[in-house]
A and B are shown apart, each in its own frame.
Chain A
Amino acid sequence: MIYFDKVSKAYNPETIALNDISLVIEPGELVAIVGHSGAGKTTLLKMILAEDRPTSGKVFFESTDIHSLNKYNIPKLRQRIGSVFQDFRLLPNKTAYENIAFAMEVAGRDEGEIKNDVPRVLEIVGLGDRLWHFPHELSGGERQRVAIARAIINQPDLLIADEPTGNLDPENALEIIEIFKKINDLGTTIILTTHNPKVIEKIGHRVVTMERGKIISDEKRAKK
């Protein structure tokens, strides 16, 4: 589903974020990318979202070369990928409901679907009573659930999560991980980055370890 073909990224000659990465991710996989800060995990995810361009090499989403897309097709690619971030990245001026509705609106879904689906997805992530709260009125764990609800609302083919538990206490972190596992069980491919050993232990179906822009190990485990 995702194919990195000899991808390198250098921000300047001294800082090489990715160094000749080749990686294949199959549909339905749950891949944890681990490594220290600065290992290149976030840069790897940015490549998939077309937020950043490789210095050399190519990244494919199915058979599409992501970085050959023009600016009108990049939004269409992003609508097929749900994304979750350590700092949640919710729109501060919109309520939980509106944040999720916005993702549906930009994907061209109609009002009926929006009215029907948004309360249901918030129910699924356990926020059925927080529809009209603004992000600043929610706790960290609640904000991350809204972000996850937004990421899955359009039934994406791929879900990307950059340190999704980085700002959460252990209890909330585990709950978020459970939600990811459920989403993966329903068939969505997930790539997440983390440096939390507990998270790795809990969900690492496949653990890719990175160090200084290179992949140093790639191990597959039995699903727990």
Chain B
Amino acid sequence: MIWVNFKRVVRSGFVNFWRNGLVSLASVLAITVSLFVIGALMVSTAFLNGVVNEVKNKVDISVSFRPEASLSDIKAVEKSLSQLPDVKEVTYISREDEYKAFRDRHQDNALLVQSLDEVGNPFGARLNIRAIDPARYESIANFLENDIQSLSVNRSIIDQVTFKRDIVSRLTKIIAVAKRIGLVASTVMICLAAFATFNTISLAIYTSREEVSVMRLVGAGNIYVKGPFLIEGIISGLIGTLLAVSLLYPSVLWIKSISYNVFGGIDLVSYYSGNFAMIFLTLLVSGLALGFVASYLAVRKYASL
């Protein structure tokens, strides 16, 4: 009997969904919008993280040595730097590489190239230091300023320490603020979307009050009165998920096309297709939950005995 009841309730849910045309469409659209917001937030979080990583990797400290500095001294500095816990990577660029790079960069400037030929190689070697975290650059800079003496290396072999201090500290702050704003904004948006969905579905069930009372008078128990509404909610969730997922794809394509020049490296489309299963599952679970919970709450309010 339970199975027969279940079958009848499911069938009736599908038939009602179809016959309630416009009302069902409203519920589906409300859920689609909610899920689209959730999906867009997922993709944009990934996008922001991509931007942050990109910028983080570009930030570094570079130490230029005087041309007369000996290779063994430079190697000693390199070794002690790479042993610092905050350092991710130290790259050694030799005098010759520096010279060649400069020449290549200015090969069209005949005057410059000519004068370089006369002077010889004026460049010193260089170390590029990359930190594990942008916040750690400070301690690396401190090491270079103060503790270098302990290496029995003469401080004077270092010509210049270029540290993009301002960029780093500003970036660190912006990332922290952006993350906080993002969290609050997404919570608010998801709540608003869920609330709109709940209201739409509530209204749909509210308009069926008359029918509910007729069902009750014919002797229908809870499963026959409430069941079809819950099934309708689940169907709306399912269709809403499919719509949201298919709307997200053209949106990321569009964003890619307009943002390509600004953030060349980050490809939302490949993020979307690479994480399709995860995005789809998240939206599906949210969609079904939204449809079911909204219907359940509305039914409890308007279709109870």
**Binding-face segment, A103-111, A180-188, A191-199:** A103-111
* Known A102-B224, A106-B219; 12 more pairs at CB < 8 Å: A51-B217, A71-B305, A72-B221, A78-B216, A83-B217, A91-B215, A92-B211, A102-B218, A103-B218, A103-B219, A106-B218, A150-B218
Assess A74 versus B305: contact at CB under 8 Å? Given A93-B211, A106-B221, A106-B224. Answer: yes
For the complex, is A144 an interface residue (Cβ under 8 Å from B)?
Answer: no
Report A99 CB to chain B, min CB distance, Å.
9
A69–B136 alpha-carbon span in the complex (Å) = 73
For the complex, is B20 an interface residue (Cβ under 8 Å from A)?
Answer: yes
Assess A89 versus B224: contact at CB under 8 Å? Given A108-B1, A110-B4. Answer: no
A156–B185 alpha-carbon span in the complex (Å) = 59
A72–B219 alpha-carbon span in the complex (Å) = 10
Assess A75 versus B220: contact at CB under 8 Å? Given A93-B211, A102-B215, A110-B4. Answer: yes
Q: A-contacting residues of B (Cβ < 8 Å)?
A: 1, 4, 8, 15-16, 19-20, 211, 214-221, 224, 305
The residue on A at minimum CB distance from B7 is A111
Question: Are A49 and B217 interface neighbours, CB within 8 A?
Answer: yes
User: Which of A72, A81, A91 is in CB contact (< 8 Å) with B214?
Assistant: A91
Counting chain A CB atoms within 10 Å of each CB, which of B15, B16, B211, B219 scores highest? B219
For the complex, is A76 an interface residue (Cβ under 8 Å from B)?
Answer: yes
> Which residues of chain A are within 8 angstroms of B8 by Cβ–Cβ distance?
105
A102–B4 alpha-carbon span in the complex (Å) = 13
A77–B221 alpha-carbon span in the complex (Å) = 11
> Which residues of chain A are within 8 angstroms of B219 by Cβ–Cβ distance?
75-81, 103, 106-107
> Which residues of chain A are within 8 angstroms of B216 by Cβ–Cβ distance?
75, 78
Chain A residues within 8 Å of chain B by Cβ, number: 27
A74–B222 alpha-carbon span in the complex (Å) = 11
The residue on B at minimum CB distance from A70 is B305
Report B54 CB to chain A, min CB distance, Å.
56
- 12 A-B pairs in the complex with CB atoms less than 8 angstroms apart: A71-B305, A76-B219, A77-B219, A78-B216, A78-B218, A80-B219, A83-B218, A89-B214, A91-B211, A93-B16, A106-B215, A111-B4
A90–B8 alpha-carbon span in the complex (Å) = 19
Report A81 CB to chain B, min CB distance, Å.
8
The residue on B at minimum CB distance from A89 is B214
> Which residues of chain A are within 8 angstroms of B211 by Cβ–Cβ distance?
91-93
> Which residues of chain A are within 8 angstroms of B221 by Cβ–Cβ distance?
72, 75, 106
A76–B15 alpha-carbon span in the complex (Å) = 26
Question: Are B217 and A89 interface neighbours, CB within 8 A?
Answer: yes
> Which residues of chain A are within 8 angstroms of B1 by Cβ–Cβ distance?
108
The residue on B at minimum CB distance from A107 is B219
Report A111 CB to chain B, min CB distance, Å.
8
Report B220 CB to chain A, min CB distance, Å.
4
> Which residues of chain B are within 8 angstroms of A105 by Cβ–Cβ distance?
8, 224
The residue on A at minimum CB distance from B304 is A71
A76–B219 alpha-carbon span in the complex (Å) = 6
Counting chain A CB atoms within 10 Å of each CB, which of B1, B4, B216, B221 scores highest? B221
Question: Are B217 and A78 interface neighbours, CB within 8 A?
Answer: yes
> Which residues of chain A are within 8 angstroms of B20 by Cβ–Cβ distance?
93
> Which residues of chain A are within 8 angstroms of B217 by Cβ–Cβ distance?
49, 51, 78, 83, 89
A77–B215 alpha-carbon span in the complex (Å) = 14
Counting chain B CB atoms within 10 Å of each CB, which of A105, A107, A110 scores highest? A105
A89–B217 alpha-carbon span in the complex (Å) = 9
> Which residues of chain B are within 8 angstroms of A78 by Cβ–Cβ distance?
216-219
A223–B188 alpha-carbon span in the complex (Å) = 72
A106–B215 alpha-carbon span in the complex (Å) = 9
Report B231 CB to chain A, min CB distance, Å.
14
Question: Are B224 and A90 interface neighbours, CB within 8 A?
Answer: no
A111–B1 alpha-carbon span in the complex (Å) = 11
Q: A107-121, CB under 8 A of B: which get 1 and which 0?
A: 110110000000000
Question: Are B19 and A90 interface neighbours, CB within 8 A?
Answer: no
The residue on A at minimum CB distance from B11 is A105
> Which residues of chain B are within 8 angstroms of A89 by Cβ–Cβ distance?
214, 217
User: Which are the 8 A-B pairs with shortest beta-carbon distances?
Assistant: A79-B219, A78-B219, A106-B220, A75-B221, A71-B305, A89-B214, A75-B219, A103-B218
> Which residues of chain A are within 8 angstroms of B19 by Cβ–Cβ distance?
93
